[in-house]
Structure 1
Amino acid sequence: MNKQFTFVVKVAVIGALCSSVFSACKKDSKKADNTTTTSNTLTSDEDSLKYLMYRTMQVTYVDGGRDKTTDLPTYYWYSQVPVLDPSSSTYSTADALLETMKGYSTGTGSTVLDRYSFLDRDSSLSSSLQDGVSEFGGKISATGNFGMEVSYASDGSKTYLYILYADKNSPAGVQGLTRGDQITAINGDTAISYDGSSGTKTTKVINAIYNSSSVTLKVTKARTNASATYSLQSGSYNINPVLFDTTYTVNGQKVGYFVFYTFTSPYNSKGAATLTKTTLDALFSKFKSAGITNLIVDLRYNGGGSVTTAEYLDSAIAPASAAGKPMYYYLYNDKLTANLNDVGLEASVNFPSATGGLSLSNVFFITSGSTASASELTLNNLKPYMNVKLVGSTTYGKPVGFITFTISEYDSNHQEKYLADLYAINFATENANHSGGYYTGITPDQTASDYINVPWGNTNDDHLDQILNYISTGSFARTAASERLATQGSSTQRASMPTSIVSPKFNGMVDYRIRMKK
């Protein structure tokens, strides 16, 4: 679906910077504003960013494409945030102000619900999620400098460093690095064992993998156990979100399986199909030709991305009976809800008039604590229409998403200066049964362990072992050999330590639609 959203927030700068009275910079300067106080004039770009961010979330947004101002707050929890002074020195940066505002988004038991809102100061996220291109600069990219992620694993007595995955088109993937490859030395240094999340050795690993432009890795390959050395240079590449795919035959039934690591958009900012769309088109065509009756979607490391990709997947997977029916509903704050037509927002999204043509008995999703947002949206949307099973561990818990707001300022010569992209929660979602609100995550139907030394597609993977048994017998169970390993342990089992290295990848779902409507 060719739908992407962005509002552009602009302020004219008179002289050096706009004054603290925002209405003096707007075309409509007569409207009263009792929801913002200011103590100082804006004397820096950071002051402007703080002020405009606050206004966008709490008071109004300015749609630069239509050159129209609408006095409506956009933040989902705006009504819980008291009147603040965004120009106050209390907030040294816009990020500090945003953290304060997020703290008011409380739910049951005063739990803070907004763990998600943030500022993107170099617009790298829209490049990767919307255009499907991984870029590299002074900041960690959406996929890591080398297009791979790493994690520690444990056999119960020792820790080991492994590659979780590598994009096929990335510098790491092109050289053949993949899941299950064990890193034994970095730049000739073998002192890389886990010593705590902020330990010297762990920090050294993080900096080498995620914060450097080149690295040399000594690796023991997962499938051959052979040792090899790889020299990597960071670079830009077209993201391929499908890490692996295959088809199994279980008791005469064809089973499709694929690993999906990010929700890059099917269409870029110019409306052209991305590699994501062409790859998924080919994949589902292959599954349809094979006559699969069960599908396994591996989202264990997928933190989400574009909601249009979730819509694509749901449309491809859903049964014919879902055609034309509600896929999911949007929930906005009360003021946006009362003015949806005026602001061009949708109340719901339906399945297309014809779904993908698969006839599935079951769809299984492999999940973990890293499965978030658009991933959760995808599986939740299908639950009202088919048999959905989750295998793994509880998901991250993010039933909310973003509309992008690009914040810029203009000097007296009308020259634009980009400040940041604002990602502050603007909506929640519910499926056709109005089920949502999973802030603490979605629990699996069957737990499974993530042994990251097991390569993609290997049926010794604990998740696949149990799912294939379900397809064969109708109940989750491990094979006898796998059950012995699970209960007795083995030095060959190396379970993921998911909190050992925090993923630098974006976690969330973004709806860019309004940009595409301009």
Structure 2
Amino acid sequence: MKGILLLFIGQLINIIKYLFYDKTAWAPAILLLLILSCKKEMPVVAEQAERSADQRLKDSIYYYYKRYSLWTDSAALDDDSVFSFTDTYDSPSAVLNALKGMTPFHALYRGGIDRFSYLADAENGGKQSFGLFLSIGAVGEKKAYPVVYFVEGGSPADLAGIRRSDVVLSIDDNQDLGIPVTCSDAGCQVDEESVYQTVISRLLKAMAQPGMRIRIRHADAAESTIQLSSNRYAVNPVITHKVFSYPDKAIAYLALSSFEEASVGSINRSRLEQVFNSFEQQQVNDLIVDLRYNTGGDIRTVEYIANKVITEGGNRNLMFRFILNAYLKQHPQAGGNSFDDVYFRRNNHLNLNTVYFLVTDVTASAAELLINVLRPYMNVVIIAEHEGTYGKPVGFFKQEIMGKAALWAASFKLVNARGETDYWDGIGADQRNVVDNIFRDFGNMEESMVRAAVNHALGRTTSSTISSMVAKTILPLKGRISNVNVVREKEMLMRGLGN
């Protein structure tokens, strides 16, 4: 009886410590009393310690990072070590940055290997946006303009009919956005840096406002003036899909902007089902997956798509497994997640010979996971704008803190069936330095990366000659000079157990 009483007291102390760090946890505390082990979860809270709300927020970030970060295996924490560390920094983000800086040094990052963990607002409603992403592109030998390189599906820009390759002539009626350039076979250079910077500033200012009036010249030379309003929106991740048909081969093409949640019954599941049903009906032989601006998303959606692609040879074999720190190994249900090994469950009637992935420097996280899990079982060819992908083999789950912040700590690493995982500097491409031609829309056969994949699938070229062939066929006087804004990162997220 004495042993039971001591166990109960020990669990009660753990609950009190838990509540000290996160006062939003009162309701779950009763349940935790029943399920927590007798291992210490929090340091003993000194009775005389009076911590403000801001201090507790910093303390909680320290605590949860130490518990969930892939690179920490710390034992029990004590008050003095927590407080002395967090009181050194004046903000929650400063605490997190200091913790990230303590992870193992990585030469390419010029600092700690954890460049990934981040803080967000507790309310994850998303920011208002136009869903419009611009580059500066030379439209001739003497002039460059803003050019649309990506429009997010479901966004105000998408619904207004703006498309990749559209040229932005003016914003709010009275701004000339032309930039003088000098072009040669080697590329184009800006003539006047001050003009270039003025245009960039105007564009960034316009996209930070709630609305703008934008004049566009489309690929067919038609012009239109559109009134855009910034808004929150549900993303449609399917940019486009089609099948290139040839006498002896059908090549499927699917451009995905992100891996949005696609559980059973969701609109995204329906969209993806329609795409793959179409591919099956047309009996495609190869598949091109365009992930050039795909920065990640939901791991469950990666599982679903992988099962739509995998051949019979990979069915029921390992898709991926998790690498965790010591704490998560002992508490695998943290955050309502499951870290069990995942196996392929083939859900298609395709018989694909090769899967091509089109990638850029921003292709990351869940997008890299899809590439990595297929490589042990299928013929995978990666075609890159430069050297390969971004390099983010880690994933996240959300830890809400005090109703004020959400900590997304890089908490797990995913490993494929061959044990491949440490692509911190990106997954290297088979065909490199293939131009991302922003003057052609997604799925256009005249676009360099698409053409490179199709030519390879048709056996017109070898992997070693594709890049040089593409370089020769791209008009050097019509190319990208720089990006104005970049696609936001979407990570590799665990959203809890589910379909």
TM range (shorter): 0.7 to 0.9
1:485 to 473, 489, 493: 473
Secondary structure of 2:281's counterpart equals helix
Q: 1:374 to 1:322 in 2, by over 3 A?
A: same
Partner of 1:503: 486
Task: Work out the CA distance in 1 between the residues paired with 2:481 and 2:424.
Answer: 23
Task: Work out the CA distance in 1 between the residues paired with 2:47 and 2:170.
Answer: 54
Alignment of 1:17-28 (within 5 A): none
Q: Does 1:49 align with 2:34?
A: no
Q: 1:241 to 1:38 in 2, by over 3 A?
A: farther
Task: Work out the CA distance in 1 between the residues paired with 2:490 and 2:47.
Answer: 33
Q: Is the 8 A contact 1:323 1:355 kept in 2?
A: no
Q: Is the 8 A contact 2:435 2:470 kept in 1?
A: no
Task: Work out the CA distance in 2 between the residues paired with 1:161 and 1:357.
Answer: 43
Q: 1:264 to 1:469 in 2, by over 3 A?
A: same
Question: What TM-score, normalized by structure 1, do the two folds share?
Answer: 0.78
Q: Does 1:446 align with 2:431?
A: yes
Q: 1:39 to 1:290 in 2, by over 3 A?
A: farther
Task: Work out the CA distance in 2 between the residues paired with 1:440 and 1:234.
Answer: 35
Alignment of 1:54-133 (within 5 A): 54-58=62-66, 73-79=67-73, 83-85=81-83, 88-107=86-105, 111-124=111-124
Q: Is the 8 A contact 1:247 1:256 kept in 2?
A: yes
Structure 1 residue 202 displacement after superposition? 1.6
Alignment of 1:143-162 (within 5 A): 145-154=129-138, 159-162=144-147
Q: Is the 8 A contact 1:37 1:84 kept in 2?
A: no
Task: Work out the CA distance in 2 between the residues paired with 1:401 and 1:480.
Answer: 36
Alignment of 1:165-204 (within 5 A): 165-188=150-173, 189-191=175-177, 193=179, 199-204=197-202
Question: What TM-score, normalized by structure 2, do the two folds share?
Answer: 0.81
Q: Is the 8 A contact 1:301 1:371 kept in 2?
A: yes
Q: 1:80 to 1:494 in 2, by over 3 A?
A: farther
Partner of 2:293: 301
Q: 1:470 to 1:91 in 2, by over 3 A?
A: same
Structure 1 residue 238 displacement after superposition? 2.8
Partner of 1:264: 260
Q: Is the 8 A contact 2:59 2:82 kept in 1?
A: no
| Higher RCO, Cα 8 Å, sep 6+ | 1
Structure 1 residue 100 displacement after superposition? 0.6
Task: Work out the CA distance in 2 between the residues paired with 1:507 and 1:178.
Answer: 22
Partner of 1:407: 401
Task: Work out the CA distance in 1 between the residues paired with 2:214 and 2:364.
Answer: 30
Deviations 1:104-129 (A, max 9, x none): 111455852111111111433xx5xx
| Aligned-CA RMSD value | 3.5
Q: Is the 8 A contact 2:145 2:177 kept in 1?
A: no
Structure 1 residue 496 displacement after superposition? 6.0
Q: Is the 8 A contact 1:74 1:336 kept in 2?
A: yes
Partner of 2:462: 475
Q: Is the 8 A contact 1:404 1:421 kept in 2?
A: yes
Partner of 1:253: 249
Q: 1:404 to 1:249 in 2, by over 3 A?
A: same
Q: Is the 8 A contact 2:73 2:326 kept in 1?
A: no
Q: Which residue identity lines up with residue 452 of structure 2 in the other structure? A: Q
Task: Work out the CA distance in 1 between the residues paired with 2:47 and 2:168.
Answer: 53
1:349 to 342, 348, 355: 342
Q: Is the 8 A contact 1:260 1:297 kept in 2?
A: yes
Q: Which residue identity lines up with residue 63 of structure 2 in the other structure? A: R
Structure 1 residue 180 displacement after superposition? 0.5
Is the deviation greater in 92-101 or in 103-112? 103-112
Q: How many matched pairs?
A: 449
Q: Is the 8 A contact 1:329 1:434 kept in 2?
A: no
1:217 to 201, 214, 218: 214
Partner of 1:61: none
Structure 1 residue 457 displacement after superposition? 1.7
Q: Which residue identity lines up with residue 392 of structure 2 in the other structure? A: K
Task: Work out the CA distance in 2 between the residues paired with 1:502 and 1:87.
Answer: 36
Gap runs ≥5 in structure 1: 1-8, 59-72, 128-134, 409-417
Q: Which residue identity lines up with residue 104 of structure 1 in the other structure? A: M
Deviations 1:133-189 (A, max 9, x none): xx5xxxx45xxx112222223478754311122234321111210111011211121
Q: Which residue identity lines up with residue 255 of structure 1 in the other structure? A: I
Deviations 1:262-316 (A, max 9, x none): 111112xxxx632221110100000110100000000000000111111111110
Q: Which has the larger radius of gyration?
A: 2
Identity of aligned residues (%): 24
